[in-house]
Structure 1
């Protein structure tokens, strides 16, 4: 079975403006996100990547672009099941506003029961993403051998759900996982079990530095202390 590198897209314009982008069209990488993407060829230089698989959204395609330019023989495949969660009526809204929605408590504490109005449930998101990984693992093994390494570019909540699935965690625990923009999460699959080799690796420890707590106990994006950032957050400032 192959080794999968899960790549979260670089920081986007929605991340920096505190908006829950979802599947809103036209959301691109910001200046920092473009810089993060430009560094990917260096970070992955030692790895013989078999294929690249991407969510259909623009910010994921932009993140992979420098890597594909650096490796002309690397094929890109678009996989709809890696798409961002369909947040429905929440899409395009400020995260600071969403913190007061009654559904947010369910999203934080009981995500397996959370379904977004006009969109999909987190449970459905996790199921489709896991099915995509299983099918791509089989395809990559068949076409490139059991020791192949490949990369998938997707979104924060999708990647968190895949990590939970690999670790055998209930989806209700996936909010305990964090993956920053352009971070690398690596899972090696075997016949009997997966192994989590890296989680949210950016090579940058700046996001771990203590930050001054705001007076109201909430971050700039409206996330209360102890809550997970819906969609994955913006990472280090």
Structure 2
């Protein structure tokens, strides 16, 4: 029996790409991001699913609310396993600032062993998201689940199911408001679609 996962990256906040939002509070969708979430939500009406789980961050919850509203779905569950990487003191800093930090450069060069100031490696991140998916697969055999999360969290899951090293996360994109689909079963997992962006 298989379970399908729709891994959805949150819609863009107003300064996406300008700074590392991380787990900073108050990072919400602006007007453009809300419109993007609405388009994504209309696309998700074509899918059948049994549950929506979301990262605790505001931007993911707003995206999940748009999907639930368009699909006539009730409950949304905040799931800490889908949370953004804990970037600690890096959160809120611009990428220009971070590029001058040797620890930031090491994090990007050695994701499997380097730790963020919050204490996570990419393998830690991968362990929590894959563990979450395995638990949900047991609850939704034969069904489908929407997971609204963040780019690196989704990339960690894709790397696991494609048997790529976590450093392979730089070999593909996960854009804001994109859909990546994975089906899992007792035999492992298969990528059905990567980074589908709704125009």
TM-score, length basis structure 1: 0.79
**Helix, strand or coil at the partner of 1:29:** coil
Tell me the equivalent position of 1:158.
153
CA distance in 2, matches of 1:12, 1:32: 8
Tell me the equivalent position of 2:100: 100
Task: State how 1:102-141 maps to structure 2 within 5 Å.
Answer: 102-141=102-141
Cα separation, 2, equivalents of 1:130 and 1:71? 26
Shift of 1:87: 0.3
Aligned CA RMSD, in angstroms, stands at: 1.5
**Preserved contact between residue 14 and residue 27 of structure 1 (Cα < 8 Å):** no
Q: How many residues align?
A: 198
The equivalent residue for 1:207 is none
2:177 maps to 182
Shift of 1:201: 0.7
Is structure 2 residue 11 aligned with structure 1 residue 10? yes
Matches within 5 A, 1:209-224: none
Secondary structure at the counterpart of residue 32 of structure 1: helix
Distance in 2 between residues matched to 1:14 and 1:114, nearest whole Å? 26
- More displaced stretch, 29-38 vs 69-78: 69-78
Q: Work out whether residues 52 and 74 of structure 1, in 8 Å CA contact, stay in contact via their aligned partners in 2.
A: no
Task: Quote how far apart the aligned CAs of 1:65 are.
Answer: 1.4
Structure 1 segments unaligned to the other structure (5+ residues): 205-237
| Displacement of 1:177 | 2.4
Partners in 2 of 1:72 and 1:45 — Cα distance? Answer: 9
Instruction: Work out the CA distance in 2 between the residues paired with 1:88 and 1:41.
Output: 31
Q: How is 1:1-237 mapped onto 2 (pairs within 5 angstroms)?
A: 1-15=2-16, 18-141=18-141, 146=142, 148-204=143-199
Quote the offset at 1:183 in angstroms.
0.4
1: distance between equivalents of 2:15 and 2:138? 34
Distance across 1 between alignment mates of 2:68 and 2:182 = 22
Distance in 2 (alpha carbons) for counterparts of 1:3 and 1:191? 13
**Structure with a larger share of its residues in strand:** 2
Q: Which has the larger radius of gyration?
A: 1
Please give the alpha-carbon distance, in whole angstroms, between the structure 2 residues aligned to 1:123 and 1:111. 8
Q: TM-score by structure 2 length? A: 0.93
In the alignment, the residues of structure 1 paired with residue 158 and residue 30 of structure 2 have an alpha-carbon distance, to the nearest angstrom, of 26
Cα displacement (A) at 1:40: 2.4
Q: Secondary structure at the match of 1:111?
A: coil
Query: Distance in 2 between the 1:162 and 1:82 partners?
Result: 11
Question: What are structure 2's unaligned runs of at least 5 residues?
Answer: none
8 Å CA contact 1:108–1:175 kept in 2: the answer is no
